[in-house]
Amino acid sequence: MNRKFEVVVIGGGIIGCSIAYYLAKEKIDVAVLDSQKVGGKSTSAAAGMLGAHSEYKEFEHLYPFVRSSQLLYKELVHEIKDKSGIDIELKEGGILKLVYSEEEKRALQPILAHSTVEWMTASDVIEKVPVNASIIGAAYLKEDVHVTPTSACNGLSKTAQLNGASIFEYTEVAEIKKQDGHYVIHTAKGEFEACYVVVASGVWSNRFFQQLGLTNQIIPVKGECLAVINEGKPLDHTLFYNQNYIVQRNNNKLVIGATQKWNDWDERPTIGGIEEIIQKAKEMMPSITEMKIDSYWAGFRPMTFDGYPFIGAHPHGDNLFFAAGHQRNGILMAPATGKMIKDMIVGNQVDKTWVQAFQVDRRNKISL
């Protein structure tokens, strides 16, 4: 078995798989090592919304980055399907951000100014979706479509493999060491060698920051979700209010999410958490009460000190990169992150604003 690669990516969530996808497309010899199954951790917990506009408040300065990532999905859906046969289940319809008062409507003005967003009156919304009649309308974010995160991750990893990448599952990395000008990656299944290393281990990246002399920290923001069976008409649009949402999957399931519990490292959902999201979902769509429960789960959003991911080189350079901490938008940002790391490795020019905003040692350095 070959254990020498040009690039080794540690972590096979959507971020690691996207990096492998873009590197393999350039014929770069890349391997992904994951301690479990590809896409099995935070990625599998996500709803899959590509909310470049719905998360606009968080990304005002970096809208071009998240928007470029959202647009890359339009290419990926075909590239992945043509090469691997995997459907990433990109579902059109976008998000209806429900509005219950004039004050809430005023707060949405910056998003409503986008040509891709339009205001919908209450009667227009109620005609389309079975929502609570007390709304005054909704911001219709038609470009904020969604994918099925595990299908997107599997599609990226499978296509990367078909382009020459190697994927090693159940291969936990213990340590990264520099030796004779290259990296030796110590794993539970022996050593790997690489010229470049990319740490993309989501909320579990902390051990590598520490090992590599950095104080960066990522904490989990635990999110609990529920899936129910919708036996009626499929929901044509995602319903969104105050960080809670109801998303129609490509089958008859609706995903209801999600709680936000800071620094909670327990991966099990709680009764209180599920109760909370059911209550919020009922306020948006009262008929949900009649639906049957399919499943429930929890996952960790990898959160950094300022909410932006770390995407870039180790402050000492040294062919060492990080791509972690994508919080509640890792599915959205995966393509642009993969492309940015690929561009940094091959030496292509990368937008300076993005480099500065995401740099690993930015604490106290920048004011966005």
Ligand X SMILES: Cc1cc2nc3c(=O)[nH]c(=O)nc-3n(C[C@H](O)[C@H](O)[C@H](O)COP(=O)(O)OP(=O)(O)OC[C@H]3O[C@@H](n4cnc5c(N)ncnc54)[C@H](O)[C@@H]3O)c2cc1C
Among 94, 137, 299, 338, binds ligand X (CB under 6 A): 299
Region from 45-53, 310-318, 342-350, 351-359 binding ligand X, contact rule CB under 6 A: 45-53
Closest CA to 116 of 140, 92, 137, 147: 140
Are 351 and 306 spatial neighbours (Cβ–Cβ below 8 Å)? no
Reference 218, options 228, 226, 207, 227; nearest CA is 207
| Sign of the alpha-carbon torsion through 324, 328, 333, 335 | positive
Are the CB atoms for 277 and 257 separated by under 8 Å? Answer: yes
The nearer residue to ligand X, 84 or 327, going by C-beta atoms, is: 327
What's the Rg (C-alpha) of the chain? 21
Gap between the Cα atoms of 113 and 116, Å rounded:
9
How many Cβ atoms sit within 10 Å of the Cβ of residue 121? 12
Q: How far is the CB of 301 from ligand X (least distance, A)?
A: 5
335 binds ligand X (CB under 6 A): no
Name the 3-class secondary structure at 342: helix
Minimum gap (Å) between residue 40 Cβ and ligand X: 6
94 is an interface residue for ligand X by CB under 6 A:
no
Site for ligand X in 137-176 (CB under 6 A): 172-173
Report the nearest approach of ligand X to the CB of residue 76 (Å).
14
Give the nearest distance from C-beta 1 to ligand X in angstroms: 17
Cα separation of 144 and 49, whole Å? 7
Please give the full DSSP string across 114-131, using - where no structure is assigned: STTEEEEEHHHHHHHS--
Closest CA to 299 of 255, 267, 257: 267
* Piece of the chain touching ligand X by CB under 6 A; list 30-38, 62-70, 96-104, 355-363: 30-38
Least distance in angstroms from the C-beta of 167 to ligand X: 11
- For ligand X, the closer of residues 138 and 200 by Cβ is 200
User: Which among 109-117, 131-139, 271-279, 321-329 is the span making contact with ligand X, rule CB under 6 A?
Assistant: 321-329
Cβ closest to ligand X, residue 137 vs residue 309: 309
140 versus 208: smaller Cβ distance to ligand X? 208
Q: Which residue in 8, 9, 31, 33 binds ligand X (CB under 6 A)?
A: 33
Q: How far is CA 166 from the centre of its chain?
A: 22
Sites of contact with ligand X (CB under 6 A): 10-16, 33-36, 40-43, 45-49, 172-173, 200-202, 204, 223, 225, 257-258, 299-302, 324, 326-332
